[in-house]
Structure 1
């Protein structure tokens, strides 16, 4: 819980500054670089090692982030000094959510029984955009257990129009009657 809260605070502060400076996309890219550093366990261990000199840590970060990105460098150095590089992914996730909300983008999960071709995926994405009136990023998943039909999760709303769900509903109605 503390990690998520901390990640949200960092993300909110970074987003506000990025908005102010017109650097929304470049800040996201920089956060992705920090996440890549954090995923490297050996590098993270070095950067979070209190016994390693600050100069060596600075050199390691400069090498990976580049010299022209001072805010990302300072963020990575600060997280490393607090042994919190592990929250970089949380920060990126929260930042991405803020950016998507700002841009009016909704994340949608679509589940089908069979794999869809690109044309079908584009058609479904377009229909969802028309229905909700926003741009969407769709995550398509295949789940054979739904038998047929489609399930859609839009925000907190689940629309289950699968054959499995219809059969379950029918079974319940028949057992009550």
Structure 2
């Protein structure tokens, strides 16, 4: 989930550039590589180290991202210059969300009490696709507090079919009936 407004803005700007140029796929690959490079623990330490010059950080970045779209490299340089390399994974995520939205693909976070099997995940994705009218990619999470059933979040929509919420609703009805 993207927490930083700046990351979303960088992702949106990158998407606009890539879309105008018809280079969404190279940008997606380049941003994924940039995110992996800057998220690597050793690289993160180097990028935060004040004793290492910006020029040295730039050279290291250019070597690590050799071969990516030149504009992706420019974005990486900008992040190094501004000390914002930690945003790279969120920028890549924001960009990919926009590409997927344009392609009619939605991402759903599905929370269950126990891990979903591949077949169950496919069945949930198919049902959510019917509901949303989009192709759905499921990211499964486990939360034993759900007790049973599932909670699905697609964008800003939540479908709560958990046993926990059903028990809470039953509790409210019983309290209202006894009042």
- Indicate whether the TM-score tops 0.5: yes
| Cα root mean square deviation, aligned | 2.5
In the alignment, does 2:53 pair up with 1:52?
yes
State the alpha-carbon separation in 2 of the partners of residues 137 and 47 from structure 1.
33
Contact 2:151/2:159, CA 8 A, preserved across alignment: yes
User: Any gaps of 5 or more consecutive residues in structure 1?
Assistant: none
The answer to whether the 8 Å contact 2:111/2:141 transfers is yes
Q: Relative to 1, partners in 2 of residues 1:132 and 1:64: Cα closer, same or farther, differing over 3 Å?
A: same
TM-score by length of 2: 0.81
| Equivalent position SS for 1:123 | helix
Normalised to the residue count of structure 1, the TM-score between the two structures is: 0.82
Give the corresponding residue for 2:129: 129
C-alpha distance in structure 2 between counterparts of 1:151 and 1:126, whole Å: 15
Count matched residues. Answer: 174
Aligned to 2:110: 110
- State whether structure 2 residue 95 is matched by structure 1 residue 95: yes
TM superposition shift of 1:58: 4.6
Residues of 2 paired with 1:145 and 1:71: CA distance?
45
The answer to whether the 8 Å contact 1:47/1:81 transfers is no
Structure 2: segments with no counterpart, 5+ residues: none
Larger radius of gyration, structure 1 or 2?
1
Distance in 2 separating the partners of 1:34 and 1:4: 17
Could you tell me how far 1:53 is from its partner in structure 2? 6.9
User: Residue 86 of structure 1: CA displacement?
Assistant: 2.1
Map 1:1-177 to 2 at 5 A. 4-40=4-40, 42-44=42-44, 46=46, 52=53, 54=55, 56-67=56-67, 69-177=69-177
Query: How far is the alpha carbon of 1:150 from its aligned partner?
Result: 2.3
